[in-house]
Structure 1
Amino acid sequence: MTQPKTYEGSCFCGAVQLRVTGAPVGMGYCHCDSCRKWSAGPVNAFTLWKPEHVAITRGTDRIGSFNKTPGSTRKWCKTCGGHILTEHPALGLTDVYAAVIPDFPFEAGVHVHYQETALHIHDGVVKQKDVPKEMGGSGMVLPD
């Protein structure tokens, strides 16, 4: 039997290290105001994993957390400030930012919260107004 593929990642300074195993539930870009402010960029690339497929392998004592809303806990390295992941317990998912797992073959499948975009991306990938219906959104698709 083949072992699931694993990918290693870390915060900016490497004090916090993590491992993701298998395949994510989904991947894409988030354009919401919260993600843009959190990432200090015009868009945030996400990879969504079942929590049991994400493991902090070093530096758990270096992790800080923040809850802007009860639905999400954002985590970062207290040494360098580098962002690591966001836990979404109500969804049963953990968002490991694509940038912190450099060898992972990221392929966006969707843009979410595109109604809030600050950077229009014409890439042929589905643009959700908010989020898919399965996640509690309208499911409305916007033009590319």
Structure 2
Amino acid sequence: MTDQNSCKGTCFCQAVELTVTGEPVVMGYCHCESCRAWSAGPVNGFTLWKPDAVSITRGAEHIGEFQKTERSIRKWCKQCGGHLLTEHPTMGLTDVYAAIIPTLDFKPAVHVHYQETVLPIKDSLPKQQDVPAEMGGSGVLLPE
């Protein structure tokens, strides 16, 4: 993090800028089919924040959104298509993708939706079947 305990992130073309302040609630990797399809990758690095810790500091008019389910509102830059964040209203958290916050010291603590993985990762982190119980999931851990 920076000296002010905040980090800036941008979309691919830098038309949209956001700032995260404080510390994320949790950081980790998501293996769900939706994140894989959205990110076009086999796994997605996430940083979950309280919504008031995330602010759009430039280019709000360029943000598009798509809501596939009641659990997720995905947002991106309408100019370049660069992904920005996902709001999770049922959890009361906002996922700012780890890849767009280059100065954040990314320290993953958990894998979520590991039952859907297409890229098994052996890193000794907990592998949640879905999400932790405190986030509304089963809390079931899977073997590495």
Give TM class, smaller chain.
Answer: over 0.9
Identity percentage over the alignment?
A: 66
Q: Which residue of 1 aligns with 2:64?
A: 64
CA RMSD of aligned residues (A): 1.0
Q: Which residue of 2 aligns with 1:110?
A: 110
Q: Which residue of 1 aligns with 2:79?
A: 79
Count of residue pairs brought into register by the alignment:
142
Q: Which amino acid aligns with 1:14?
A: Q
TM-score by length of 1: 0.96
Segments of 5+ residues of structure 1 without an aligned counterpart are none
Task: Tell me the alpha carbon deviations over residues 97-135 of structure 1, each in whole angstroms, 9 at most, x when there is no partner.
Answer: 000101100011000000000101101110001111112
Q: Distance in 2 between matches of 1:42 and 1:71?
A: 21
Segments of 5+ residues of structure 2 without an aligned counterpart are none
TM-score by length of 2: 0.96
Structure 1 residue matching 2:35: 3-state secondary structure: helix
Q: Which amino acid aligns with 2:115?
A: Q
Q: Distance in 2 between matches of 1:16 and 1:95?
A: 16
Q: Which amino acid aligns with 2:131?
A: V
Q: Distance in 2 between matches of 1:97 and 1:58?
A: 17
Q: Which residue of 2 aligns with 1:6?
A: 6
Task: Tell me the alpha carbon deviations over residues 39-84 of structure 1, each in whole angstroms, 9 at most, x when there is no partner.
Answer: 0000000000001000000000000000000221100000000000
Q: Which residue of 1 aligns with 2:120?
A: 120
Structure 1 residue matching 2:55: 3-state secondary structure: strand
Q: Distance in 1 between matches of 2:56 and 2:104?
A: 16
- Structure 1 moving runs of 4+ over 3 Å: none
